[in-house]
Structure formats: structure tokens, C-alpha cells
Amino acid sequence: MAGKKTVRHKSALKAARQALRHQARNRAALSQVKTAVKNLRTALNEKTANKADLQKKLAPMLGLVQKTLMTAAQKKIVKKETASRKIARLSKAVHQATHSA
């Protein structure tokens, strides 16, 4: 019994290959989301005297974060509720940073 090989079904081997490809794609997409969120949070923490300049800088970044998060949610990389919650909190932070006195 020690020298006998186990049977490997073609479908199981194909499923394993597919799983590796899917895992790599999902990991890359999640990395994009994390990078976009990190860049927005870094920009939020920078001190700028002019609120108009800050708003011009943060608005496109927030749009990019929203796009990447919702795309990841559609592909079920992150849950829809999680994406919505992150977007809401980041939007609130951007609004407070650009409209506070």
C-alpha cells in the first residue's frame, strides 16, 4: 500500500488550478482597494491651510475609492455592506475635513 499512488481526477486538478487563478485575482483586487483607501486617509491627514485645494485633491480620490470598493463588492471580494460602510465613513471624513471651520 505504501508504493501505491492516489487517484487524481482531472476535474479536481482543473478546479485546483482555477482556485489558484481566482485567489491571485481576488488578492490583487483587494490590494487595490486597500491602497486606494490608504492613499485617501494619508491625504486626509495632511494639513492644508486652503480648504478649496484640499477639496480639489480629495474629491477625485474619494471617487476612485468608491469605484474600487463597489467593484470589489460586485465581484464578492468584499461584502456589499462592508463596502458601503467604508464609503460612508470615508465620505463623512472627507466632508468634515473640507467643510469644517
pLDDT in tens, 26-61: 999 999 999 999 999 999 988 776 778 888 889 999
Asked whether the predicted pLDDT for residue 67 surpasses 70, the reply is yes
Q: What is the pLDDT of residue 98?
A: 87
Work out the average pLDDT over 91-99.
Answer: 91
**Position 3 in a domain:** no
Count of structural domains, the chain:
1
Tell me if 5 is assigned to some domain: no
Whether this prediction's pTM lies above 0.85 is answered by no
In a domain, 1, yes or no: no
Mean pLDDT of 53-79: 94
Whether the predicted pLDDT of 83 surpasses 60: yes
| Mean pLDDT of all residues belonging to the chain | 90
d(CA 60, CA 81): 23
DSSP string, 12-37: HHHHHHHHHHHHHHHHHHHHHHHHHH
Q: Which range of residues forms the domain containing residue 25? A: 10-99
Task: Answer yes or no: is pLDDT of 97 > 60.
Answer: yes
> For the domain that residue 14 is a member of, what is the CATH number?
1.20.58.110
- In this model, does residue 101 exceed pLDDT 50? no
